[in-house]
Amino acid sequence: MTLRSADQIREQLEQAIIAAEFADGERLDQMMLSKRYSVSRTPVREALHALSTSGLVEAVPRRGVFVRYPSFIKLVEMFDVMAELEAMCGRLAARRITEDELAHLEDAAAACEWAMEKGDADDYYRENERFHHVLYHASGNSYLAEEASKLHKRLQPFRRLQLRVRGRLAQSMREHREVQDAVTKGDAARAAQALHGHIAIQGEHLNDLMANFAKHRARSASRAS
């Protein structure tokens, strides 16, 4: 599908940044990257500037592009917006979800439960992802679904770490079931409220999360060297 190396490089850089392979504020050198990906500077340049549009890096004219991890404050803000978007998805989905989508929701929820019982955080994370995307889609608002997905992806590394916090997995699962129940019964207000809480609690626990993230980034950096 994508036969442009600029797009592939953008994709790979995105992954690399999300995986914290670069230090905060580090300059992404075009020459270095073009060697790394065995292409000329042209597609690298395009990829870098594309990334700056989506906010993962900051492009300073004539100086270069620098990776910018969101500050603590910014993260809290982003989780707050995420909570609102998810709540909106829930409210709409409660009214609009189809039988088919309800079945998918149950599938995802069951898979989450199974992962939880196994105590497999990675697997839980994957199925949790599916659960939420079913809801985005079920909102029947494709623009909303798109925006929610984007932000969801952006917050991925921060959310993921939180699942490692003790007891969070079971708690998260209970919240999923509450959401599912509200959506199934068509209770828009309760679905919205449950989803809002489900996300907002992550923002509120950002302190623990940041501590974990720092540890993780330290490990990741030492591996990279």
CB 78 within 8 A of CB 151: yes
| Minimum distance, C-beta of residue 121 to its own copies, in the bound complex (Å) | 27
Residue choice 39, 111, 144, 165 for contact with its own copies (CB under 8 A): 144
State how far the Cα of 171 lies from the Cα of 182, in Å rounded to an integer.
17
State how far the Cα of 151 lies from the Cα of 134, in Å rounded to an integer.
15
Residue 3 as a binder of its own copies (CB under 8 A): the answer is yes
| Residue 142 binding partner per list its own copies, DNA, none, with a CB distance cut-off of 5 to 8 Å that depends on partner kind | its own copies
State how far the Cα of 104 lies from the Cα of 110, in Å rounded to an integer.
10
Give phi and psi for 59, each to the nearest 5: -100, 120
CA distances from 50 to 10, 28, 58 (A): 7, 13, 10
Q: Which stretch binds DNA (CB under 7 A): 25-33, 87-95, 103-111, 150-158?
A: 25-33
Q: Which of residues 22-81 bind its own copies (CB under 8 A)?
A: 45-46, 49-50, 53-54, 61-62, 73-74, 77-78, 80-81
Q: Which of residues 47-76 bind DNA (CB under 7 A)?
A: 59, 61-64
Residues 6 or more apart whose CB falls under 8 angstroms from that of 26 comprise: 66, 67
Q: What is the contact mask toward its own copies in residues 82 to 121, using x (rule: CB under 8 A)? A: --xx--x---------------------------------
| Residue 84 binding partner per list DNA, its own copies, none, with a CB distance cut-off of 5 to 8 Å that depends on partner kind | its own copies
Tracing tokens 């019964």 back to the chain, one arrives at 185
Strand, helix or coil for residue 58: strand
| Residue 177 binding partner per list DNA, its own copies, none, with a CB distance cut-off of 5 to 8 Å that depends on partner kind | none
Residue choice 30, 34, 141, 220 for contact with its own copies (CB under 8 A): 141
CB 43 within 8 A of CB 6: yes
Task: Report the candidate in 22, 12, 101, 6 with the shortest Cα–Cα distance to residue 68.
Answer: 22
Residues at the site binding its own copies, with contacts judged by CB under 8 A: 2-4, 6-7, 45-46, 49-50, 53-54, 61-62, 73-74, 77-78, 80-81, 84-85, 88, 141-144, 147
Residues at the site binding DNA, with contacts judged by CB under 7 A: 4-6, 27-31, 39-43, 45-46, 59, 61-64
